[in-house]
Structure 1
């Protein structure tokens, strides 16, 4: 069965690359880190405005990476494959384990535009007034705002790194003028960074931003290419509900065939997913013969 081929230049020409001088985390001085993190955020800002990038899918994949890092910080050992299983194989009425619950928090917080209401839905156990106070107290550059929120929230919620990371990303994203929260800080912070304070924490968050923005831009370029291949395959897809299914794949990190039940029957969904794999536009992500999960 023929695969879908497109030239990388067809989709990647408009997307910037972060230059090597901006990706180095060897910078020691606060001024160097501020300059490099600002450059990395500026280039990511450009990528987040590119129509070629499937923005919802990019946020979903960053949320998965953030959840994996977040889970590791909490002392658990679940990795990406296990997180996907916990969430995407849930049956109606089931609840995920602790790691899956963290992943679901990240997915909820990136699914809506940044607002106090959206954050309250993602973090229902946290008083909205507290969140508003923490976010409104931040001043200065995006890195300084993220640092201030992270430090304050972690000090008041010592056992909950998830809340601190989400709200710090919300402060950073809002300061950058982004409509949606973009998960970044968890991708670059290390467990030891959670114990930093003052200028050490500011430095750690600056370096984490450089690392995470670099990964996000690289991921965006890859997803632009992959999504273009899937878009090009639309003409070959004759199944009923194919348009709705393709739209889901372009906005979700991963899907089990049962997630397509609103568009087609369970049997048709399994055939449709295999068809996309045969065309080379979707990957089977588990390596299993049963309980399979697919993604762009």
Structure 2
């Protein structure tokens, strides 16, 4: 499913994470001497949105604290390509500043699944996370899928490449949220770029892009336009922060009870007059949850890298890289990528389970899915 030779640069088929410009990996992952990953500290309690009145008043502050911490995590990774070398070239010290952690692909893909499931509920579609995971990983690459499956594929774009506000990209994204083909993608692209120019900081960019998009999408069904705007806001935030690819954040929490307001518990919508405040609260909550996910993935990644030298399979390294890059991996896909037999791939995952380096995510005896 994770193809490296995508047929079109704007294809929504997942692809491996692009390497950071400042780091050139001269050799593939060598797990013979796994590195120690830096420990990820959880977001402090004082920086978390608690849903109370104070949380609403301090939404901007809490969002800034959470996003700053998440930004630090995304720039504090270790270059594992040097694992297993007998010496370290001190002349390269300091050149790894800004490297994303090795599990950043899995982080984006896992949050993409959460975002897609949340949007499916907003659109009153039936698929939950388990159904979306099965549909994406157990069917043929690029095959037909359901409306919820198309939302999942849209959010999976976050894990494969940077996203720009150009007409071609927006037209493809619009198709996946159900927007009509007659939508003026060129006009929308121009409006979004203007909004980005006028915004001087990340949260303002996300809010301005939301406002511009809702104006341009007035003819699109409300729920489709809203889901599209949640996606666009995350793209704007990532562009202002200089992330190499966006992270699904806003859609993962937009319907969270802590963000509901009024006696009826109404959720915030991009067309609301106070959307910028609601958006800040949502990012405060989403950043905290994303940091928690990153912490769990970091600990599991360390277990995986520690287990790597104990694996007898010569093709274990490509499978490890696949697990670090995606939400989950099937034995069939691992066998194809690493040139293992089907039986060899199953035995490899059984060994990883035995070492507690991965988890089986489906809970089934067959058609199993494995991930961090």
Structure 2 Cα separation of the partners of residues 45 and 251 of structure 1 = 19
C-alpha spacing 1:37/1:27, structure 2 compared with 1 (3 Å): farther
C-alpha spacing 1:122/1:62, structure 2 compared with 1 (3 Å): farther
Superposed counterparts of 1:51-130, under 5 Å: 51=77, 53=101, 54-92=103-141, 94-116=143-165, 119-120=169-170, 123=173, 125=175, 127=185, 130=188
Structure 2 Cα separation of the partners of residues 28 and 149 of structure 1 = 27
1:208 CA drift (Å)? 0.6
* Alignment match of 2:316 (pick from 242, 261, 264): 242
1:177 CA drift (Å)? 2.3
Which stretches in structure 2 are left out of the alignment for 5+ residues?
A: 1-35, 79-100, 176-182, 256-265
Asked which structure has the greater RCO (Cα within 8 Å, sep 6+), the reply is 1
Structure 1 Cα separation of the partners of residues 190 and 329 of structure 2 = 34
1:242 CA drift (Å)? 1.1
Superposed counterparts of 1:195-274, under 5 Å: 196-199=271-274, 201-260=275-334, 261-263=336-338, 264-274=340-350
Q: Which has the higher helix share?
A: 1
RMSD (CA atoms): 2.3
Structure 2 Cα separation of the partners of residues 295 and 198 of structure 1 = 41
Secondary structure of the residue that 2:326 maps to in structure 1? coil
Deviates further, 29-38 or 255-264: 29-38
Q: Which has the larger radius of gyration?
A: 2
Taking structure 1 as the reference length, the TM-score comes to: 0.87
Give the structure 1 partner of residue 239 of structure 2.
174
C-alpha spacing 1:128/1:28, structure 2 compared with 1 (3 Å): farther
Give the count of matched residue pairs. Answer: 285
1:236 CA drift (Å)? 1.1
C-alpha spacing 1:223/1:119, structure 2 compared with 1 (3 Å): farther
1:164 CA drift (Å)? 1.2
C-alpha spacing 1:154/1:239, structure 2 compared with 1 (3 Å): same
Deviates further, 226-235 or 236-245: 236-245
Deviates further, 113-122 or 55-64: 113-122
Which stretches in structure 1 are left out of the alignment for 5+ residues?
A: 1-9
Structure 2 Cα separation of the partners of residues 18 and 93 of structure 1 = 38
